[in-house]
Amino acid sequence: MSIGGHSIKFSSATLQWKESGGAWHDYAITGLDTDFHRSYSEDIYIADLFDAISSSDFTTGNFIGKRYDYRLVVESTDGHTEYTPVRSMEVVKFYYSPNDDGAEYNSVYHPWTDSWWQNFDNANAWYSSLPSTGPYKDFRQKGVINNTWPAQQITDLNFADGDYIEVDMDVRNCVFVRTIHGKLSDTAPKIQTVGMDNILGIGPTGAGWIAGSLQLYYPAHNPAAEDSSDTPTDKLQFDAVYATNNFSKIQAGELPGYLNVLLDSDGVTWNGTHQTNWGNANQSTVVPNLVTRSSLYIGAEEGNHYSRATYNYVRVIRNREM
C-alpha cells in the first residue's frame, strides 16, 4: 500500500476515529490478505468507518449531522508506524426513504418493482381510482408520492482543498409507469404519468428549481411518443439551471439500479463516469460555480414527481481535522 507517497508492507492496520474534539477510538481492519492490495487513499476504507462507529452512535441514530475525524494507522513489517492525514466525515442522511416503495389498489399493496404496474390496464385502473385534485391527478397531491427530501444546508466547504459531497442511492423503486395514453411531452400526460423522479437537487440558496442549481431526475423515459417502435429506455437526466428559463436537459445514461453521485472540485461523477456535457455555455457554468461555494443546499423537492429512491448514505468529506 502507499502512504505519504511511498509503498510499504504492513502487518496490521487500525482505523482511528473520534468525534470532533474527542478522544481517538481504535477499530482493527480485518482481512489483511485482501486489504494488502487495497490502496488506502484516505477514503476507500470509509465502509470500515461506518462499521467502526456502529457500536456507538450508529446504534442509536445519533450520528446524523455529527462530524467524525478519522485516519488510518499502519504498523509496517519493518516496525514503523505510519499515519494517513486526518479527514472528517459528516453524515447527512443514512438509509433514508422519503416515500413508500409502492401503492395500494383495491386493498392490495403493489411495490413499484412489481410487474403489475407494467400492465397498462392495471396502472390505468389504479390511476382512475384516485380522487381528482386540481386540473391533473398530480401524484404528489394525492398522497401517493407526496414527500420531499427538504433542502438541507451544508456549510464549511472548501472544494479546492479536497472536500466533496457524496450521495449513494438505490433507485430500483424509481420505476416508469404509464397510467394514461398520450405523448409524454404533453403537459397533462407528463404530470399524470409516474416517473422522472426528482432524486437530487444541489443549489446555492436552496435545492429546488432556482438559478444556479443542478437537478437530477430518474427515470427520464425515452422515447416520448407512446406509439414508437423503439424499445423504451430509462435515463438519468441532469438539468443545469443557469436561470429558471435557461436550463439543459442532458440524458446521460441508463442506471443498473443504483446511483452514486460525487461532487468535488472536478465537478460531478456518477457511477464512476465524469460528467462533462452540461449544455450551452451559460448552463456549463452551473457546476463550476457550485464547487466554488463554501455553503450549498441539498435535497429533492422539485417538480411534479418526488423521489422514490432510498438514500443509502449522504455524506460530506472535509479534507482536514474538525
CATH number for the domain spanning 31: value is 2.60.40
53 and 107 both lie in a single domain: no
Q: Look-up: residue for cell 456502529?
A: 54
Domain boundary among 56, 85, 114: 85
67 and 206 both lie in a single domain: no
Which pLDDT value is given to residue 37? 37
Percent of the chain with pLDDT over 90: 51
**Which residue did the predictor score with more confidence, 125 or 78?**
125
How many CB atoms neighbour CB 116 within 10 A?
16
Q: pTM for this structure?
A: 0.88
Which pLDDT value is given to residue 44? 43
Which pLDDT value is given to residue 225? 54
The rounded distance, in Å, linking the Cα atoms of 96 and 298 is 14
The rounded distance, in Å, linking the Cα atoms of 98 and 146 is 9
Per 3-state DSSP, the chain is made up of helix, strand and coil in percentages (nearest 5) of 15, 40, 45
19 and 140 both lie in a single domain: no
H/E run at residue 268? strand 267-270
Q: Looking at the domain assignment, is residue 90 inside a domain?
A: no
246 and 295 both lie in a single domain: yes
User: Which residues form the domain of 46?
Assistant: 2-85
Q: Which of 85, 86, 81 is nearest to 69 (CA)?
A: 86
76 and 57 both lie in a single domain: yes
What domain count does the chain have? 2
Domain boundary among 50, 85, 120: 85
Which pLDDT value is given to residue 43? 43
181 and 291 both lie in a single domain: yes
Over the chain, what is the mean pLDDT? 84
44 and 169 both lie in a single domain: no
Annotate 208-229 with three-state secondary structure: CCCCCEEEEEEEEEECCCCCCC
* 223-246 tens-digit pLDDT: 555 555 555 678 899 999 999 999
* 70-114 tens-digit pLDDT: 888 877 777 778 888 888 989 899 889 999 999 999 999 999 999
